[in-house]
Amino acid sequence: MQTRKVHIIVQARTNSSRMPGKIIAPLHDGKSFLEVQLNRLKKIDLPIIVATTTNDCDDVIVERCNEIGINCFRGSENNVLNRFIECAVSINAELIVRVCSDNPFIDIDSIEYLVKNYEQEDYLSFAINGTPSILTHYGFFAELVNIRALKKVALSADSKCIEHVTNCIYQNPSRFQTRLIPLHVDEDLPLRCTLDTTADWLLLQNIYQNWYLERIETDFTYIELINFLRTQPNMLRSMDKEIKNNSK
């Protein structure tokens, strides 16, 4: 597939129930986690677009994206599936790298690996110790999904598919061609680098200020971040608490 048909679509909104404005809240240097993530993604040789909502509160997302040269698409807040489909159609994307804005330290190498190893599947991502990466608390990994599969899901009119976009694809391998690339992460480490709560925000700010800033130019892999967290027992305890508080 020609790379011009592959686009990174970042799902972003500010109206979070647990911590409104979490992705645009200023860090100690005035930047936000939205900017941190987008600047990381710009290192990949793929076009990027942020799919946000038509709500007035998300005007700030468009403003931040304009400041760093990232395009935006605005669609439904509640029907995220349709927002992705309409966004993909508007840019003529055939294959989507789906990224959640709640994952500021997303692993760049793993995205490039997915694109390089794509074999016309409807869905391609990782299985971490047997669990689809999207269902973990790690916050390091993206998904690849083609527009045909998303349109097929939309036609089913299943309400369970509207918010989470890809769950009705990877959970239905009999209907879709799916592949999960196995990865192993130390199961004894309670790792949580996704942003959902105020406690998450404080933890990620700590990583940003005391580890990430030293690696902006050289970049890093998720393994290096995990190795850093191994040396931070207090952070791991806090992450473990948030995992337990936010596990369904």
pLDDT at 119 over 90: yes
pLDDT score, position 161: 85
Which of 216 and 90 is assigned the larger pLDDT?
Answer: 90
Between CA 124 and CA 174 the distance in angstroms is 15
What is the C-alpha to C-alpha distance for residues 156 and 25, in angstroms, rounded to an integer? 37
pTM recorded for the entire structure: 0.95
| Average pLDDT of the residues in 112-124 | 97
| Interatomic CA distance for residues 46 and 206, integer angstroms | 29
The string of pLDDT tens digits covering residues 144-201 is 999 999 999 999 877 888 888 999 999 999 999 999 999 999 999 999 999 999 999 9
**Quick one: three-class SS letters along the chain?**
CCHHHEEEEEECCCCCCCCCCCCCCCCCCCCCHHHHHHHHHCCCCCCEEEEEECCHHHHHHHHHHHHCCCEEEEECCCCHHHHHHHHHHHCCCCEEEEEECCCCCCCHHHHHHHHHCCCCCCEEEEEECCEEHHHCCCCCCCEEEEHHHHHHHHHHCCHHHCCCCCHHHHCCCCCCCEEEEEECCCCCCCCCCCCCCHHHHHHHHHHHHHCHHHHCCCCCCHHHHHHHHHCCHHHHHHHHHHHHHCCC
Q: Is the pLDDT confidence value at 32 over 70?
A: yes
Has residue 87 got a pLDDT over 70?
yes
pLDDT, residue 1, reads: 43
- Looking at residues 96-119, what average pLDDT do you find? 96
Domains identified in the chain and CATH numbers: 3-185 (3.90.550.10)
> What's the pLDDT score for residue 248?
64
Residue whose token pair is 């596990």 = 247
- pLDDT of 80 > 90? The answer is yes
- Between 108 and 5, name the one with better pLDDT: 108
Check residue 3 and give its pLDDT.
47
For residue 16, name the pLDDT band (cuts at 50, 70, 90): confident
Q: What is the pLDDT of residues 207-230, one digit of tens each?
A: 999 999 998 877 789 999 999 999
Q: What is the pLDDT of residue 115?
A: 97
pLDDT, averaged across the chain: 94
